[in-house]
């Protein structure tokens, strides 16, 4: 039997993992956009 404390801990941990994954994906897309912006500047 799982206690409420363990359940809330696992729920918070899952939310934390989802947040980390979201931040990592956002950072990756942001760096990708920065590379797209820097590419024409390097060509000029």
- The three-class DSSP label of residue 36 is helix
pLDDT digits (tens, 9 = 90+) for 3-33: 888 888 899 999 999 999 999 999 899 888 8
Q: Which pTM value belongs to this model?
A: 0.57
Comparison of pLDDT for 24 and 41, the residue scoring more: 24
CA–CA separation, 37 and 30 (whole Å): 11
What is the structure's pLDDT at 21? 96
CA–CA separation, 23 and 17 (whole Å): 10
């Amino acid at each position: 039997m799982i206690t409420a404390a363990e359940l809330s801990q696992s729920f918070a941990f899952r939310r934390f993992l989802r947040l980390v994954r979201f931040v990592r994906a956002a950072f990756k897309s942001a760096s990708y956009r920065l590379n797209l912006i820097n590419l024409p500047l390097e060509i000029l």
